[in-house]
Amino acid sequence: MGKIMNSLRIVTCSAVAGLLLASAPGLAQVSADGMGKVVPVELYACNFQEGKNDADLAKVIEQWNKFADDSDMDDYAAWLLTPFFHTTEQDFDIIWLGAFRDGNAMGAGLQNWVANGQEMAAAFAKVVDCGAHVAYSSAMYKAPPGGNAPESGFITMMDCKLNEGQRYTDIKAAELKWADYLAKSGSKVAYYHWMPMFGGGDADFDYKVVSAYPDFKEIGSDVENFANGGGRDVSNEVFGDIDECDDARVYVTRNIRSGKIRD
């Protein structure tokens, strides 16, 4: 779970990414220490060009999927994220969220894009203006039910910063305890940390907490458990003063390409 408002550790990515997301087909791989395999993810923050809309973008995505098929991009998955709960600080229309199977797939995919994707890039540029392109390492703390990410749903993203004197090993241990509590309480959330990798510049956070749900009913179930079912007390006990996170932004997610990201 992530924190809703400034305290509620509940999550809606994504992923995305699932947010970061485990991607169908294939089950999410979890290692002996309870963590899922770390995978690279990329985000483009985009606005529609004047006079363009979702229908125009859908046509370009159809062309891009053919390009991806011709390039044997079976190890890349992608989603479109649309803001749902947000403020004016989120000054974009959509986010493109992409996830690679591993670093080797990222290197091969980006090299292919640089070498052979000029025409596709020009086609996208006629429809959307993407002013930001960043990459993160996505670590999975709790897999989606059944291991497969839904093709659509909701994700949240929060920016979090470790408090003075705390280390990432401290938050990792806390998150593993929290993930265990979520599983035992019946939560359907998938839960990730994204660590900055490329493009972030002078970002004022240490990691993003990204969470994915299949629908708002499951979000509401976890909200109720947190507020009235003892979740708040567990959260306070587990996390203490390890980190501080801002309010979660919530996005509607729509899968536009499936790929085998996690075994």
DSSP secondary structure letters along 188-233 = --EEEEEEEEES--S-S-SEEEEEEESSHHHHHHHHHHHHHSSHHH
pLDDT in tens, 105-131: 999 999 999 999 999 999 999 999 999
Banded model confidence at residue 200, pLDDT cuts 50, 70, 90: confident
Specify the pTM.
0.84
Residue range 80-94: average pLDDT? 88
Chain center to CA of 50: 28
User: In the chain, where are the structural domains located?
Assistant: 3-257
Its CATH class, for the domain covering 3-257, is alpha beta
* In the predicted structure, residue 228 carries a pLDDT above the cut 90: yes
**pLDDT tens across 4-34, in order?**
333 344 433 333 434 444 443 333 444 434 4
* Proportion of the chain above pLDDT 70, given as a percent: 84
